[in-house]
């Protein structure tokens, strides 16, 4: 497995998808964002994740995103592509499309919208892996799909070579820690955490890397955090993480009276990237609304205090 | 609104999608099923609902289903089409496709997979309705999308002509009853219940019709139930419903050790339709497994006791 | 079982617990309330239920409530007592106390606060029933205890004479309907619904009675509803229920910005009873706040429109 | 606040409550357990927590537990007492009883069983703190009480001197980390984690100590873990935690077909303590069942591999 996924560890930001004011993929901004992230020292790019607005993008938009990101990455770092669809056949169809566009690995969740079962989730990942010749990551995100991937299920799929890694956004710390211990026997398997405000703690606990949405805004910070952890300087890792945790307060800028958590988070990342001069607009997909100028000002203030302006 | 949705009341089964053993849409069986349902006296057909396996069907399969159902219905009853996608733009894209295939109305849920907000759900339905010139039904199914549609939200959308009806699978009886009372002011609005084992109670409470998955198996029974309710013979309606409630035990035939509730339910409906000679196979989409012969035998036994063999 | 619980069917309001402004049980108001309910034609009284503020009352207060209610009922109608504690031994201790005060039946939930298991829930009810010589009702209220009582569990306990009845507040309409059908074999078993705005529908579906919190405010209305259902006049039952459903809007009077649903509901019932001259104060237990005069005015307006002032 | 809670940091095990085979508190075993824990180097004892079976113990049993623990501790380490009741007045009543028995601090949850509201939770803690002159800890355990304590609520209560600390079992890593950062301004406030398999990570993230149920079985291990963290040797802390995480597998010994997670966990801790010669029986309270000899053997095997036999 290791040989199939060189480089899928460390800092792997879920790349946001910049949009033009009329809702099209802003390809120029996306190219600039990819360059910004690679300059920031990220190890790989995760396209079409939740932070990439995948649940909001049409087939055509998703194809455009992969086209721009793989083009801009140009082999400097691997590109993982989310293939987020409700069930197996639909995931496989999308996986074939992504593979044809030259991505390096795929990321799929358990089935969603419909009720499912552990034996069905097992079959789901096996069928996807059998259909597409790319490393497959499981995306463990119960808040979106209503199911937690069991440790025993992941280990079975890992040992059988079905999965090359896991992106864990489950919040189940017991399962994560025990998984990290069990995975010592499979050194090529990549255990990535999506919990961006406790990356230091997750790395200490055995994670191989992180998938921080906030890494779009401050890739250099996550690079320093990862480097400190890699050399065992946990005090430095913690200090960097604490700084990033305070920066994460930008997601609280949107008025909760008319913004979902998704809109607040994506809106904040895009608004911060606009403020930093990386992308042109903070547009988000419908039915979300973009952050307004007052909310943007709060975000600029936080960026300023973090020394990012 | 009434004029836009003539006939969308009464018995509106969510049509299951028969598959061939290799997983293709079994068009011949689907044609026979449509004929069986129309013969059973249904008022309309709901294609591509949860019972229609919509979450499992590829774009091409969904197009085939609409093609066959609209063709077989041939204008005898209206056809509603589920446009089940995670967010607004994706729903609209699918809605245009369905409209082009000649369906009579559309059924959409709140956004799912992603976290959303009441103001976003409101915008979601308004954007869909503005984009497609067909009556729009809201599908209120929190178990799939993690959000209940508020009564005030539905009333606002109903009064503004955004929604032509609701299919309620929420299980929130307080909200449903109060909605039924509020909707007296909008007589053309269709309030349909998805709670197939208490249709008599829901009709008494003010529902305009039902969307019973079990109606695939016994449309004549739901016809008699609806007719009894329409003429105010609640004792007869209850007796028919009690019979159907016992028939619904077919969904318990599958071994829960390796079947989801979805697989158990869809598998049971298809197995029963096969036993009744309506469709050719009980195949379900991956990652579900079909019911085996022992499970099928349990279902045949229940059908037999219900006088349906 | 029937012989042990004569009269536990029909209208069984969960009696609210009037408090004085300093938070003591207002015994005089409670006596007046019991008289009001018996005059309204209720079939039994349920003391120390959720509407009785049981989760808020100290041991001494609970004893006072039972003392006043059994005294005021004076054998005219049976008195059920909630014995709401986290686990078995604590329930049994409270059950002994209630039995010593002369109540006619007990109502217990599944264990709560702690995680539990179906086999433990089964043992829980069997141990309680073995310890106390009074009819035992199971209170099925997942929203409070995080577990739904399975139909098979209830049937097993019913057939073994462990349970004399169920108060269902689960909202699981499939389970309720099938339970009603299965229970035909046990005519003395009492299946009571807590879903107060759809009592007509639940009675049609097979319930033996109802436990409406709103029955504190308008017992005469629930009496008429039950009588209409008993004589098979479902149109009249529905009309009465629709009226009561609109009356139930009093629970929406409290500002949700600083009131829980519990505070809004209990506060509304008490405020309405005060407005109707039955009890003296609308005080609720800490940490809830009482409804203020503006909220009370909204309630008076609803009562007025309902012809209850 | 600091002066009120000397010593409430570091390793604070939630002391299990040994029982005799007939279900009484096994006072001799409990005394031995307290001595074992103090010998193991714990910083304080948490009596009547979830691991202390508090939800299962009668008033008399709870009094016995506090009597034995405070007596055996004899001032060597502080004793915190859980005051776990559904709502305010009941908590206060229990808090007075605990205070009279000489405990050093109290631990209370948000209201449970009943629905509640942030403003009510705020009032709840303020009323408890005003009623009893002991340091008050908030127990943040959404899995039991269905509500997460907001960071802003905790900070407000901390700044106002209402709370002396928090025991966090919420699993919300974002909230925990930001709370740890905010709490730098209140150095006397104790932030304790209940997540026993990631204590190293939580200490790195800013926790002041831990409340590990597994600390009953291996207090010396948690002492070494805490000491390593205190001196900044995170590699040693991680190694110790990894060992403890594997030891935690004892909670998987019980057959899930007839054991709740609570029974499996408490049963495992007691069975392990019996195997280590600390307590006499592995009895648990009804309706839980004790682990059988086969399950006990599995636990002994794990203890053996961990070098604890």
ipTM computed for the complex = 0.96
Q: What integer pLDDT is reported at residue C258 of this predicted model? A: 93
Q: Which of C150, C191, C193, C197 to mutate to test the interface with B (most CBs of B within 10 A)?
A: C197
Q: What integer pLDDT is reported at residue C273 of this predicted model? A: 98
Which own/partner contact pairs does A116-119 have at CB distance under 8 Å and 24+ positions apart? Answer: A116/A147, A116/B260, A116/B262, A116/B287, A117/B258, A117/B259, A117/B260, A117/B263, A118/A150, A118/A153, A119/B258, A119/B259, A119/B289
Retrieve residue A306's tokens: 């973090």
Q: With CB atoms and an 8 Å threshold, state whether A55 touches B115.
A: no
Q: What integer pLDDT is reported at residue B6 of this predicted model? A: 52
- CA of C122: how far to CAs of A222, C150, C162, C163, D22, in Å? 52, 10, 10, 11, 20
Retrieve residue B16's tokens: 């299951």
Query: Looking up tokens 């959308």, which residue turns up?
Result: B157
**Torsion angle defined by CA atoms of residues A114, A118, A122 and A123, in that order, rounded to the nearest 10 degrees:** -50
Chain A hits for D176, Cβ within 8 Å: 198
Nearest CA in chain B to C172: B171
- CA of C162: how far to CAs of C147, C156, C157, in Å? 19, 9, 5
Q: With CB atoms and an 8 Å threshold, state whether C204 touches B234.
A: yes
pLDDT profile of chain A (309 residues), mean per 10: 58 98 98 98 98 98 98 98 98 98 98 97 98 98 96 98 97 93 96 97 98 98 98 98 97 95 98 98 98 98 94
What's the CA gap between D154 and B196, in Å, rounded? 46
pLDDT (tens digit, 9 = 90+) per residue, D262-287? 999 999 999 999 999 999 999 999 99
What's the CA gap between C122 and D247, in Å, rounded? 31
Q: What integer pLDDT is reported at residue A4 of this predicted model? A: 38
- Report helix, strand or coil for B81: strand
DSSP string spanning D95-140?
HHHHHHTT-SEEEEE---SS---HHHHHHHHHHHHHH--S-EEEEE
Chain C hits for D111, Cβ within 8 Å: 55, 287
Q: Which of C194, C205, C212 to mutate to test the interface with B (most CBs of B within 10 A)?
A: C205
What's the CA gap between A147 and A153, in Å, rounded? 12
Q: With CB atoms and an 8 Å threshold, state whether C201 touches B197.
A: no
Q: What integer pLDDT is reported at residue B1 of this predicted model? A: 32
Q: With CB atoms and an 8 Å threshold, state whether C204 touches B201.
A: yes
pLDDT band at D121 (very low <50, low <70, confident <90, very high): very high
Nearest CA in chain D to C114: D144
Q: Please give the angle made by the CA atoms of A133, A135 and A139, to the nearest 5 degrees.
A: 125
Q: Could you say which of D177, D195, D201 has the minimum Cβ distance to residue A204?
A: D201
Using left for φ > 0, alpha for ψ between -120 and 50, and beta otherwise, residue A257 falls in alpha
Chain C hits for B261, Cβ within 8 Å: none
Q: With CB atoms and an 8 Å threshold, state whether B55 touches A86.
A: yes
Q: With CB atoms and an 8 Å threshold, state whether B117 touches A144.
A: no
Taking an 8 Å Cβ-Cβ cutoff, which residues of chain B contact chain C? 171-174, 176-178, 181, 195, 197-198, 200-202, 204-206, 232, 234-235, 238, 241-242, 245-246, 248-249
Q: With CB atoms and an 8 Å threshold, state whether A201 touches D246.
A: no
Q: With CB atoms and an 8 Å threshold, state whether B238 touches C204.
A: yes
Q: What integer pLDDT is reported at residue A174 of this predicted model? A: 87
Q: Could you say which of C178, C202, C246 has the minimum Cβ distance to residue B201?
A: C202
Q: With CB atoms and an 8 Å threshold, state whether A261 touches B115.
A: yes
- Cα of B266 to nearest chain A Cα, Å: 11
- CA of A113: how far to CAs of B50, B144, B256, in Å? 9, 5, 19
Give bridge partners of residue A32 from the DSSP assignment.
Answer: none
How many CB pairs lie under 8 A apart between chains A and D? 83
Query: Alpha-carbon Rg of chain A, whole angstroms?
Result: 18
Residue D10 neighbours by CB under 8 Å, 6+ apart: D42, D43, D44, D208, D209, D210, D226
- Report helix, strand or coil for C46: strand
Portion of chain B with pLDDT greater than 70, in percent: 98
Distance from the first to the final alpha carbon of chain B: 41
Is the pLDDT at D2 greater than 50, yes or no? no
Q: With CB atoms and an 8 Å threshold, state whether D145 touches C113.
A: yes
Residue A189 neighbours by CB under 8 Å, 6+ apart: A1, A158, A163, A164, A165, A166, A183
Q: Please give the angle made by the CA atoms of B38, B41 and B42, to the nearest 5 degrees.
A: 75
Query: Are D183 and D152 a contacting pair, CB within 8 Å?
Result: no
pLDDT profile of chain B (309 residues), mean per 10: 58 98 98 98 98 98 98 98 98 98 98 97 98 98 96 98 97 93 96 97 97 98 98 98 97 95 98 98 98 98 94
Nearest CA in chain A to D204: A201
Q: Which of A155, A169, A170, A173 to mutate to test the interface with D (most CBs of D within 10 A)?
A: A173
C-alpha closest to that of D251 among D237, D239, D269: D269
**The model's pTM:** 0.96
Q: Which of B126, B287, B291 to mutate to test the interface with A (most CBs of A within 10 A)?
A: B287
Q: With CB atoms and an 8 Å threshold, state whether C88 touches D115.
A: no
Instruction: Find how far residue A234's CA is from the centre of its chain.
Output: 24
What's the CA gap between D159 and A218, in Å, rounded? 32
Q: With CB atoms and an 8 Å threshold, state whether B113 touches A116.
A: no
Q: With CB atoms and an 8 Å threshold, state whether A115 touches B262.
A: yes
What's the CA gap between D220 and D223, in Å, rounded? 5
Q: Could you say which of B171, B206, B242 has the minimum Cβ distance to residue C181?
A: B242
Give bridge partners of residue A193 from the DSSP assignment.
Answer: A168, A210
DSSP string spanning C256-268?
TTS--HHHHHHHH
- CA of C142: how far to CAs of B181, C151, C168, D146, in Å? 27, 14, 10, 12
- Report helix, strand or coil for B229: helix
- Cα of D99 to nearest chain C Cα, Å: 18
- Report helix, strand or coil for D79: strand
What's the CA gap between D22 and D14, in Å, rounded? 23
Check contact B-D (3+ Cβ pairs < 8 Å): no
The secondary element (H helix, E strand) that includes residue C289 is none
What's the CA gap between D81 and D86, in Å, rounded? 16
Nearest CA in chain C to B243: C181
What's the CA gap between C12 and C192, in Å, rounded? 9
B206-219 b/e with 16+ CB inside 10 Å = b? Answer: bbbbbbbbbbbbbb
What's the CA gap between D199 and A191, in Å, rounded? 20
- Cα of B234 to nearest chain A Cα, Å: 34
Q: With CB atoms and an 8 Å threshold, state whether C86 touches D117.
A: no
What's the CA gap between D81 and D83, in Å, rounded? 6
Cα dihedral across residues D259, D262, D267, D269: positive or negative: positive
**Torsion angle defined by CA atoms of residues C108, C109, C114 and C117, in that order, rounded to the nearest 10 degrees:** 110
Using left for φ > 0, alpha for ψ between -120 and 50, and beta otherwise, residue B74 falls in left
Retrieve residue D67's tokens: 């009597």
Chain B hits for A142, Cβ within 8 Å: none
Q: What domains does chain A contain, in order, with CATH numbers?
A: 10-249 (3.20.20.70)
pLDDT (tens digit, 9 = 90+) per residue, C223-274? 999 999 999 999 999 999 999 999 999 999 999 999 999 999 999 999 999 9
- CA of B26: how far to CAs of A242, B52, B59, B68, C301, in Å? 58, 13, 16, 10, 60
- Cα of D288 to nearest chain C Cα, Å: 6
Q: What integer pLDDT is reported at residue C191 of this predicted model? A: 98
- Cα of B236 to nearest chain A Cα, Å: 34
- Report helix, strand or coil for C105: strand
pLDDT band at D3 (very low <50, low <70, confident <90, very high): very low
pLDDT (tens digit, 9 = 90+) per residue, D167-188? 999 989 889 999 999 999 999 9
Residues in chain B: 309
Query: Are B128 and B96 a contacting pair, CB within 8 Å?
Result: no
Q: Which of C118, C173, C199 to mutate to test the interface with B (most CBs of B within 10 A)?
A: C173
Q: Which of A19, A95, A114, A131 to mutate to test the interface with B (most CBs of B within 10 A)?
A: A114
pLDDT (tens digit, 9 = 90+) per residue, C158-207? 999 999 999 999 989 889 999 999 999 999 999 999 999 999 999 999 99
Check contact C-A (3+ Cβ pairs < 8 Å): no
Q: With CB atoms and an 8 Å threshold, state whether B111 touches A23.
A: no
Is the pLDDT at D191 greater than 70, yes or no? yes
pLDDT band at D6 (very low <50, low <70, confident <90, very high): low
Nearest CA in chain B to A286: B88
Give the mean pLDDT of C107-126: 98
How many CB pairs lie under 8 A apart between chains C and D? 131
What's the CA gap between C70 and C47, in Å, rounded? 9
Give the mean pLDDT of D18-44: 98
Q: Could you say which of C124, C144, C286 has the minimum Cβ distance to residue D114?
A: C144
């Amino acid at each position: 497995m290791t040989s199939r996924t060189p480089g899928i560890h460390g800092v792997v930001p879920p790349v946001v998808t910049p949009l033009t004011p009329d809702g099209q993929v802003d390809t120029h901004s996306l190219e600039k964002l990819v360059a910004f992230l690679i300059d920031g020292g990220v190890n790989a790019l995760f396209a079409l994740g939740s932070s990439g607005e995948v649940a909001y993008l049409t087939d055509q938009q998703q194809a455009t995103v992969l086209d721009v990101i793989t083009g801009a990455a140009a082999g400097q770092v691997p590109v993982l592509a989310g293939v987020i669809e409700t069930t197996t056949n639909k995931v496989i169809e999308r996986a074939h499309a992504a593979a044809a566009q030259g991505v390096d690995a795929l990321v799929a969740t358990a089935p969603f919208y419909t009720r499912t079962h552990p034996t069905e989730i097992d079959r789901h990942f096996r069928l996807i892996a059998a259909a597409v010749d790319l490393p497959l990551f499981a995306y463990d995100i119960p808040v979106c799909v209503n199911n937690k991937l069991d440790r025993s299920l992941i280990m079975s799929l890992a040992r059988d070579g079905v999965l090359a890694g896991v992106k864990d956004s489950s919040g189940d710390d017991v399962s994560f820690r025990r998984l990290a211990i069990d995975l010592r026997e499979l050194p090529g398997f990549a255990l990535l955490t999506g919990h961006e405000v406790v990356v230091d703690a997750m790395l200490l606990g055995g994670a191989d890397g992180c998938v921080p949405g906030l890494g779009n805004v401050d890739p250099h910070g996550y690079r320093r955090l990862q480097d400190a952890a890699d050399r065992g300087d946990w005090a430095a890792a913690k200090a960097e993480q604490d700084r990033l945790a305070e920066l994460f307060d930008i997601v609280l800028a949107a008025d909760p009276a008319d913004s979902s958590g998704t809109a607040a988070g994506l809106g904040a990342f895009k608004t911060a990237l606009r403020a930093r001069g990386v992308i042109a607009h903070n547009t988000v997909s419908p039915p979300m609304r973009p952050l307004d100028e007052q909310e943007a000002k709060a975000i600029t203030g936080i960026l300023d205090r973090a020394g990012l302006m």
